[in-house]
Chains A and B, each alone.
Chain A
Amino acid sequence: DAGVTQSPTHLIKTRGQQVTLRCSPKSGHDTVSWYQQALGQGPQFIFQYYEEEERQRGNFPDRFSGHQFPNYSSELNVNALLLGDSALYLCASSLDLRGPRATGELFFGEGSRLTVL
């Protein structure tokens, strides 16, 4: 049973460029959340997708957008990259956290390390 997989694992971009990160959730999971983890900090919630719609959003600008596909996989897009966007981007999958089968537990991928120069 494959867990959460993310790609790419590492990438380097320059300021102003755009980046797309991809995530495949754990088998059986229907909810995908994206987190940004800056160096020395805890993961910060970006947004969450359920049934192909953005259901929750954290305090991130509109430069951060996402998508969820019918197979529950997801993409995170960041436009007009800034130096401060350099971070580890974590994808986490779960069952619907508001649903009756919710355990509250998120399963994380290994992350995509983005460096903006």
Chain B
Amino acid sequence: DQQVKQNSPSLSVQEGRISILNCDYTNSMFDYFLWYKKYPAEGPTFLISISSIKDKNEDGRFTVFLNKSAKHLSLHIVPSQPGDSAVYFCAASARFGSSNTGKLIFGQGTTLQVKP
């Protein structure tokens, strides 16, 4: 069962515009969510995270929004830059009291292309 889903395999946006990447999850025990970025031939690198006690976390051009009732989170990149072109993975964990405690469950990834 896919507990974390990224339903859009790819996204293409123009430089300077907003990129919105979406992620859905099914397990209500998840209480911590992360976004990772991956370039070819490199390992995933941490981008931004959000705890379930918040609904928004911002870091520079990157903002993550969490809607717990809908079990949905999104990553906004504003403005988008060509260097942002990469695969973005959503991940979730449950820090306490769950079989998922201590591990990250990843979505399938969304490939973002930012065109100059």
A residues engaging B (CB < 8 A)? 4, 31, 33, 35, 40-45, 48, 55-56, 58, 90, 92, 97-98, 102-111
Q: Please, how many angstroms separate the alpha-carbon atoms of A47 and B103 in the complex?
A: 9
**Which of A44, A97, A107 has the most CB atoms of chain B within a 10 A radius of its CB?**
A97
B107→A42 contact, CB < 8 A: yes
A106 touches B104 (CB 8 A): yes
Q: Within the complex, what minimum Cβ distance (angstroms) separates A71 from chain B?
A: 21
Question: B residues touching A (Cβ–Cβ < 8 Å)?
Answer: 4, 6, 9, 32, 34, 36, 41-46, 49, 89, 91, 93, 95-96, 101-109
B46 and A107 contacting across the interface, CB-CB below 8 Å: yes
Contact of A104 among B43, B45, B89, B95 (CB under 8 A): B95
Question: Can you name 23 A-B residue pairings with CB atoms under 8 Å?
Answer: A4-B43, A33-B104, A35-B106, A41-B109, A42-B91, A42-B107, A42-B108, A43-B89, A44-B106, A56-B101, A97-B101, A97-B102, A97-B103, A104-B32, A104-B34, A104-B93, A104-B104, A105-B46, A108-B36, A108-B43, A108-B44, A109-B43, A110-B41
Interface of A is mostly: loop
Q: Contact check: which of A42, A98, A104, A105 meets B106 at CB < 8 Å?
A: A42
The reply to whether A58 and B103 form a contact with Cβ atoms under 8 Å apart is yes
Write the nearest CB–CB distance from B10 to chain A, whole angstroms. 11
Neighbouring A residues of B34 by C-beta, 8 Å? 104-105
